[in-house]
């Protein structure tokens, strides 16, 4: 059955169709989020394969943008593509995303160049891959919400959301397995999956009829894209050294990017209030359930987004070498040792989604954030050289907490939206999530670098001099930007071998050289300074999750938008007290308005409200 069919299946076939939708959209989101992280673990093999040193100062651009280009472009485009889905068909936009994603995955795997040319090609193809991912992410939640009845949306969105979150951790292990065999496999593996998913989507997914078309908000799209790019690029380069500073927050370029991006986003907000068909539906923020859910998404992503990097650096730079793993093997084993986090997501997500269908989103989303804050606090209490069973238990706790939050929160957001705005609403929520992850990375790295800068230079100098390194060389290494130390550990390189260089190592006796480059020396030196930075990072994550819990609680009781007739713009209608959900409310010359229902909070009385009412 073709994808341009404009009607859902008959009632007797609807039950089977919704599972097709769930299976396909979950495959698409899982594939996109696996590729978001699969490159992290594979970066050492990629750079070896294309013959480039990523830690050379002139190559930092390629290192950062191979990691962040996918995330930045998907963050920028997801609202626009959700809006296009509302206008021209969500299934059409989703299917196109599958095809685009598959094509750029193939282009990534056939890189024929080497050096900086190959690195630039990979960055550009990752941008194209991010465009395809944005099509998928922007429209999958809206397609699911269209296909599932309200009493099953939490479960469906929970499975989809948890697949997306867990995919970022599955990618770590998959990258560690495939990249040592052949780095191109990390991209090539998506091609057959993408081809299957594309054909399946074009044959089986069906459009919900759209009642009206609107014009594209070109000015809003351009100002939003340029503003968000400016802010995220500024954050990215803020963690890079500038001049004699360990970070770039005082760089005129960074300041200009942040200020210019903020100004464009402010202009975008003004534009959206004045154009007839805005890209970013500001009127949706009148729905309290949508506003509270989006705000808690933003705060939860800020608390969680940099967590992966901190845990990977903790494992690869300190814990795994101290427990007998060579630096070259640490990327794969870091992904394996973090699997309890993924298990927590997989266990809690669908279950909390099902329960939220019955009891509403608020208790599970808010409770999940409180549990996440507790897990961050407990992780902060661990010694740097921790017993793994306790670490795994806390990772499982964090995964359970985040899974308990993610599914009900997304279901609460999508349930609150009028059908004609589900694409743009889903895109807005995804933008908050993706942009917050970039912001979180900048915040976490900044806190870590500040913590390292306070004591790392003195620790490195004293440790190297004790092993016979000349004071001049030791001072030079100790005053290298701390981000170089973090990236060396993150990439699975031998940090001291890279930081000292061949000449300084050759000047040492063989026994001293073995000590300096061995598995114990670097972890022992960095443990104290790293602990300082880790304390600040976990404290920030704890506070962010506590604030997210408060924001989530503000959504109120269960809120489900129901349409009794032809709906108009969000915020234009309010159901009349006492009118049952789904009933048409006639008005002179106006189609029956959309209705929304709220279940009573415990101890409260039922109420019926329209989309402009409190959430």
Distance CA 154, CA 411 (A): 5
Identify the pLDDT of residue 483. 74
Average pLDDT over all residues of the chain? 80
Question: Is the confidence at residue 416, as pLDDT, over 90?
Answer: no
Q: What's the full length of the chain, in residues?
A: 615
pLDDT tens digit string along 208-217? 766 556 677 8
Q: Which residues of 252-289 are buried (b: 16+ CB within 10 A; e: fewer)?
A: eebeebbebbeebbebbeebbeeeeebbbbebbebbbb
Sign of the torsion formed by the C-alpha atoms of 529, 533, 538 and 539: positive
Identify the pLDDT of residue 571. 36
Cβ 297 vs Cβ 249: under 8 Å: no
User: Exposed/middle/buried for 3, CB within 10 Å: 0-12, 13-18, 19+?
Assistant: middle
pLDDT tens digit string along 12-40? 577 788 899 999 998 988 888 888 778 87
Q: CATH code for 1-212?
A: 1.20.1250.20
| pTM of the predicted model as reported, rounded to 2 decimal places | 0.77
Question: Is the confidence at residue 611, as pLDDT, over 50?
Answer: no
Cβ 96 vs Cβ 153: under 8 Å: no
Distance CA 23, CA 35 (A): 18
Identify the pLDDT of residue 263. 95
Question: Is the confidence at residue 564, as pLDDT, over 70?
Answer: no
Identify the pLDDT of residue 578. 35
% residues pLDDT > 70 (the chain): 88
pLDDT tens digit string along 285-294? 888 888 998 9
307 or 203: which carries more pLDDT confidence?
203
**Residue 562 pLDDT class (50, 70, 90 cuts):** low
pLDDT tens digit string along 575-593? 333 333 333 333 333 333 3
83-92, 208-217, 233-242, 290-299: the lowest-pLDDT one = 208-217
Identify the pLDDT of residue 447. 81
pLDDT tens digit string along 491-525? 767 778 777 878 888 888 888 888 888 888 888 88
Average pLDDT score over residue span 101-122: 91
Structure-token pair, residue 4:
């341009």
**Residue 335 pLDDT class (50, 70, 90 cuts):** confident
Identify the pLDDT of residue 591. 34
Distance CA 561, CA 313 (A): 44
CA distances from 182 to 40, 46, 175, 192, 508 (A): 15, 9, 10, 17, 35
Q: In 432-524, which ranges are E strands?
A: none
């Amino acid at each position: 059955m073709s994808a341009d069919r404009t009607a859902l299946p008959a009632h007797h076939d609807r039950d089977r169709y919704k599972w097709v939708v769930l299976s396909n959209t979950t495959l698409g989101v899982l594939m996109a989020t696996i590729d978001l992280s699969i490159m992290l673990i594979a970066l050492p093999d990629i750079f070896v394969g294309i013959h480039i040193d990523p830690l050379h100062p002139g190559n930092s651009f390629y290192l950062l943008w191979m990691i962040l280009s996918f995330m930045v472009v998907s963050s920028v485009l997801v609202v626009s593509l959700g809006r296009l889905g509302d206008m021209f068909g969500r299934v059409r936009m989703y299917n196109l995303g599958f095809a685009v994603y598959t094509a750029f995955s193939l282009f990534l795997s056939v890189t024929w160049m080497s050096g900086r040319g190959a690195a630039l090609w990979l960055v550009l193809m990752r941008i194209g891959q991010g465009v395809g991912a944005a099509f998928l992410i922007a429209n999958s939640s809206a397609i699911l919400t269209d296909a599932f009845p309200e009493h099953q949306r939490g479960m469906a969105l929970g499975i989809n959301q948890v697949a997306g979150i867990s995919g970022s951790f599955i990618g770590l292990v998959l990258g560690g397995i495939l990249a040592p065999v052949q780095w191109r496999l990390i991209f090539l593996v998506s091609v057959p999956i993408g081809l299957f998913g594309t054909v399946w989507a074009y044959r089986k997914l069906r459009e919900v009829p759209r009642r009206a078309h609107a014009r594209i908000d070109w000015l809003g799209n351009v100002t939003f894209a340029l503003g968000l790019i400016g802010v995220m690029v500024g954050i990215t380069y803020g963690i890079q050294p500038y001049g004699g500073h360990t970070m770039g927050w005082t760089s005129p370029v960074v300041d200009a990017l942040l200020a210019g991006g903020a100004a464009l986003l402010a202009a975008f907000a003004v534009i959206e209030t004045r154009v007839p068909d805005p890209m970013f539906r500001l009127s949706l923020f009148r729905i309290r359930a949508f506003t509270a859910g989006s705000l808690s998404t933003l705060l939860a992503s800020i608390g969680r987004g940099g967590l992966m990097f901190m845990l990977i650096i903790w494992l690869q730079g300190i814990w795994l070498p101290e427990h007998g793993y060579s630096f070259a093997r640490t990327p794969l084993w870091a992904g394996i040792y973090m699997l309890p986090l993924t298990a927590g997501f997989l266990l809690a997500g669908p279950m909390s989604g099902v329960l939220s269908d019955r009891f509403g989103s608020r208790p599970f989303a808010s409770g999940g954030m409180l549990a996440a804050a507790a897990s961050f606090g407990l992780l902060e209490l661990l010694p740097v050289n921790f017993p793994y069973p306790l670490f795994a238990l806390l990772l499982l706790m964090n995964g359970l907490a985040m899974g308990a939050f993610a599914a009900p929160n997304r279901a609460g957001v999508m349930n609150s939206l009028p059908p004609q705005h589900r694409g743009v609403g889903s895109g807005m929520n995804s933008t908050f999530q993706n942009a917050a992850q970039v912001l979180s990375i900048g915040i976490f790295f900044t806190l870590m670098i500040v913590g390292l800068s306070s004591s790392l230079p003195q620790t490195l100098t004293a440790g190297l001099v004790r092993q016979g390194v000349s004071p001049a060389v030791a001072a030079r290494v100790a005053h290298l930007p701390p981000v170089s130390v973090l990236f060396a550990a993150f990439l699975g390189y031998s940090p001291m071998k890279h930081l000292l260089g061949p000449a300084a190592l050759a000047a040492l006796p063989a026994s001293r050289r073995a000590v300096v480059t061995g598995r114990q020396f670097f972890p022992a030196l960095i443990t104290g300074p790293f602990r300082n930075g880790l304390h600040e990072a976990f404290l920030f994550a704890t506070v962010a999750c506590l604030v997210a819990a408060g924001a989530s609680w503000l959504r109120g009781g269960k809120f489900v938008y129901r349409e009794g007739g032809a709906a108009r713009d969000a915020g234009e209608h309010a159901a009349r007290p006492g009118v049952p959900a789904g009933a048409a409310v006639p008005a002179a010359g106006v189609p029956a308005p959309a209705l929304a229902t709220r279940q009573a909070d415990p101890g409260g009385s039922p109420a019926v409200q329209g989309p402009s009412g409190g959430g």
